[in-house]
Chain A
């Protein structure tokens, strides 16, 4: 229980202090909310990578499906926003179920297959105009509603909602990781037969991780849609939602749970505040460079690199 002593003050800080201090500054709040959205995607990506053992280059598929599902549900079927967000997560699960046959492909083939699926969804969104409004997109998507006097549609409201979503997902990730299922998942990457021979249904567990990851990513996509109130196919399925979370997760250390979140905040903030002012178009270039550099220097993330550096210094001293 000792490790949880920092939890209460941390929660207080993020739930109370941040809105109090920055609540009136729209710009800062926007940055924080956006980085939490990225963090949510990065978390779902890392979960799939770590527990599912699958590297995905197509998480934009789940993000986009969640976004469109929620938009359509609220605008064409009058579903309340919060419920729509949940259902959008379910829609993302359905899209993941369509991907299950791809599970039997080995690592690189799986990654590419997911990428292909992401393309398919993007094209479907562009062409299925009757439902999705085609390439023109959908505008005026409802904001988060006011409940019990508190307007969740405000900047602070949005912040609290995405914060909660991300924290809940982190908790779920942690729970799974510690459970026997999590243990089996971690073992099966290098010990496929060793787990099967004691009764683990490897395929089922991995499939479940795909579904969990897709749900999380879909919910984040849905939230995002009610935050920015606008949607179009090239945005919803943009490769940005593939690249930034991968860079964030790897930069922050994708083997941990906090890594992707910290990475998301850092990478996104640096990208928006520093890089974009220097190279407005093509600023993703820097993301690509960071990714390449990280893989070569320290695929386990910046923290791991720093720890190695510290150890070398200690050894030299």
Chain B
């Protein structure tokens, strides 16, 4: 029994890496622009299908799809930024509906191009077992976990040290003051969309490499990313990491201890738990009205 639990914890941890990438992208855009990109999960989906196309059409390892995915998904992300920028009034609400529409477009494009069939990688290199002591995983899971760690560390460094990174933080806390300091908020927002796109691209190829994909799962990913940000509380990167790992572990445990069909329910259950018990998330600052 303990081995099963250990295995679940391990698998969940590995999965958490990709989840963290996705959730961070969502949080980054929200922080910079106060906009929730409901199509974020679909960007990941796009990357996943690019991984599939590269693998099936060119017969190569999906890793090689990453550059293609990064370029295309980042372009799509920037496109969404441009669309959101065209909204004239009520940006907070209208951006929701707009990005929701974009999500529908992408999901249905995927349906049209790749059909509803379930896809998974056929690369044996990716699927090969990678054993650490008693813990088993696919090579792809460990590989992409490592990639996530590197990317997240890079993101953290970028946010705290680079000029752009600090600009993003400035714009998110006070837009007008940032303008006065010579920061162009529009450009900063674009940058945040681009960075989110890059992370989504990696996450998409990752998910293709060790999981299964269908057009519908874009929407599911957005919900999961959102659940993670709720778990984490507002404005906390470590919170997102822990939330992502928690979600991954909760799902893995549910699959092991209950049934794989209830996997989705794990995340939803966590979400409700947090809403009722800890509405500020695990690390969020208290923001109740007086």
Contact = CB atoms under 8 A, between A and B. Distances in A.
Direct contact of A and B (CB under 8 A): yes
Contact of A285 (B93, B109, B116, B223): B109
B83 to A, nearest CB: 6
Contact of B111 (A113, A246, A282): A282
A101 B165 CA distance: 35
Interface in A100-139: 101-102, 104, 107-109, 111-113, 115-116, 119-120, 123-124, 126-127
Interface stretch (A20-28, A32-40, A152-160, A290-298): A290-298
B279 to A, nearest CB: 7
A48 B279 CA distance: 23
A9 to B, nearest CB: 36
A243 interface: yes
A299 interface: yes
Given A123-B262, A295-B97, A299-B94, A288 B36 contact: no
A102 B275 contact: yes
Given A108-B92, A115-B223, A119-B264, A246 B98 contact: no
A295 B108 contact: no
Residue among A55, A279, A288, A295 with most chain B CB within 10 A: A295
Contacts of A55: 93, 96-97
A90 interface: no
Interface stretch (B4-12, B99-107, B149-157, B179-187): B99-107
B118 interface: no
A92 interface: no
Decide if the interface of chain B is mainly helix, strand, loop or mixed: helix
B226 interface: yes
A116 B100 CA distance: 14
Interface string B244-281: 00000000000000000110110010011001100100
Interface in B76-114: 83, 86-90, 92-94, 96-98, 100-105, 107-109, 111-112
Given A119-B223, A119-B264, A282-B109, A291 B275 contact: no
A279 B105 CA distance: 13
Contact of B220 (A57, A119, A291): A119
Interface of B: 30, 35-36, 38, 83, 86-90, 92-94, 96-98, 100-105, 107-109, 111-112, 115-116, 219-220, 222-223, 226-227, 230, 261-262, 264-265, 268, 271-272, 275-276, 279
Given A239-B219, A288-B104, A296-B98, 4 more contacts: A246-B100, A289-B105, A291-B104, A292-B83
